[in-house]
Amino acid sequence: MNTPELGLPMPVPAAGLPTHVRIHEVGARDGLQNEKATVPTAVKAEFIRRLAGTGLTTIEATSFVHPKWVPQLADAEDLYPQISDLPVSLPVLVPNERGLDRALALGARRVAVFASATESFAKANLNRTVDESLAMFEPVVSRAKGEDDVHVRGYLSMCFGDPWEGPVPVPQVVRVCRALLDMGCDELSLGDTIGVATPGQVTALLAALTEAGVPVSALGVHFHDTYGQALANTLAALQQGVSTVDASAGGLGGCPFAKSATGNLATEDLVWMLRGLGIDTGVDLGRLVATSVWMAAHLGRPSPSRTVRALSHQES
Ligand code: HMG
Ligand code: MG
């Protein structure tokens, strides 16, 4: 019989799941963009270094957006050179050609555009309609793909529910996914920006995307944990063959342009479940918890992650 290591779950594999999951860590971007206080650049750089030391291989670093829209990430030009030597992928968000120019000038090789399935969020987040934002992304993606070895992720927000429009019809989501892929995005990340999805909805959306010819290998999932559904939704996605999962260390996160968005699925909670399922992630859970506890001390409040609390005996 397998015996669990102390502080780790008993590994018991379940049938029909991927053998390896790539975690796309978003704490430094999705997490810190939503902090009231601006975190000093040196602390962000140290956070990303510590995350890289846990075995995470994809660490979203920052955004090259308008600094007035997201003041918390206005130091992108200072931050990126402090971490660009790390032997990990460091994706950055670029909404338009101005953002792409800024990112490429610093040597970024992984960029992400970010679309919305709903008109309300496209307006709030990008000051554009859905189609106007797709038109804004088109030259970004084609220029990025014209560069040597640049990988482009396409985020799609509000895939399940929207705070202004309610439940989001599946065909609306499928249309924008197809547009992003046809534009040349290498992968898509399906965002539950406000964390309202439940597993049946996830299964239904993934089935509709497969039917529309979207390969599951090109899909990642990005769950916020507002209603405590993020892990259940992740399991539903794994059962459909998804093997890229976004998460944020310590459960940091939210979106300043969607009031009801709270933190992302905590990376520690994800790693705990995946370890229990016998799925390899390459992440050292102890080091990750220590990193989130260190970051929580800088932010002046405990991590909302259940796993961080359990393993660190952090006060709530
Ligand atoms: P706009 O006001 O419509 O911009 O904002 P514009 O195109 O009219 O340009 C106005 C001025 O901004 C110009 O300067 C531009 O040069 C400048 P001026 O000529 O007036 O001096 N400008 C820029 N400056 C620096 N960097 C840039 C840039 N672009 C224009 N890249 C814009 C349009 C897209 C810029 C704005 O809406 C914006 O920056 N939005 C970013 C919003 C954001 O970052 N949201 C959070 C990320 S999305 C998210 O969190 C969801 C996700 O996690 C998935 C999920 O959970 O669902 C990804
Ligand atoms: Mg998000």
The CA–CA distances, whole Å, from 305 to 94, 124, 213, 241 equal: 29, 28, 36, 25
Quick: pLDDT tens for 219-235. 999 999 999 999 999 99
**Tokens representing 294?**
């260190």
Cα(180)–Cα(307) distance, rounded to whole angstroms? 35
**Residues near ligand 1 (Cβ within 6 A):** 30, 33, 63-66, 69-70, 93, 95-96, 98-99, 114, 125-127, 155, 157, 191, 193, 222, 224, 255, 257
State which residues form the domain around 26.
22-312
- Return the CATH number at 139: 3.20.20.70
Of the candidates 291, 288, 315, the one whose C-alpha atom is nearest the C-alpha of residue 55 is 288
| Amino acid (one-letter) located at 302 | P
**Minimum CA distance residue for ligand 1 atom 24:** 66
For 115, phi then psi, to 5°, come to -100, 175
**Minimum CA distance residue for ligand 1 atom 37:** 126
Quick: pLDDT tens for 123-143. 999 999 999 999 999 999 999
Question: Residue 219 has what DSSP assignment?
Answer: E
Does position 3 have pLDDT exceeding 90, yes or no? no
Q: Provide the pLDDT confidence category of residue 1 given band limits of 50, 70 and 90.
A: very low
Quick: pLDDT tens for 23-52. 999 999 999 998 887 899 999 999 999 999
Of the candidates 144, 170, 156, the one whose C-alpha atom is nearest the C-alpha of residue 64 is 144
Contact 151, 182 (CB under 8 A): no
Quick: pLDDT tens for 231-261. 999 999 999 999 999 999 999 986 677 776 6
In the prediction, which pLDDT does 255 show? 67
**Which numbered ligand comes closest to the C-alpha of 189?**
1
Quick: pLDDT tens for 183-197. 999 999 999 999 999
Cα(174)–Cα(277) distance, rounded to whole angstroms? 30
The CA–CA distances, whole Å, from 175 to 202, 237, 258 equal: 16, 20, 22
| Amino acid (one-letter) located at 315 | E
Quick check: is 3 in a domain? Answer: no
In the prediction, which pLDDT does 254 show? 66
Contact 28, 50 (CB under 8 A): no
In the prediction, which pLDDT does 315 show? 52
Quick: pLDDT tens for 100-115. 999 999 999 999 999 9
Residues with CB under 5 A from ligand 2 (ion): 30
In the prediction, which pLDDT does 313 show? 75
* Ligand 1 pocket test, candidate residues 62, 66, 114, most atoms within 8 A of CB: 66
Q: Return mean pLDDT, the chain.
A: 95
Quick check: is 1 in a domain? Answer: no
User: Looking at the 3D structure of the chain, how many domains does it have?
Assistant: 1
**Tokens representing 139?**
């030259």
Quick check: is 16 in a domain? Answer: no
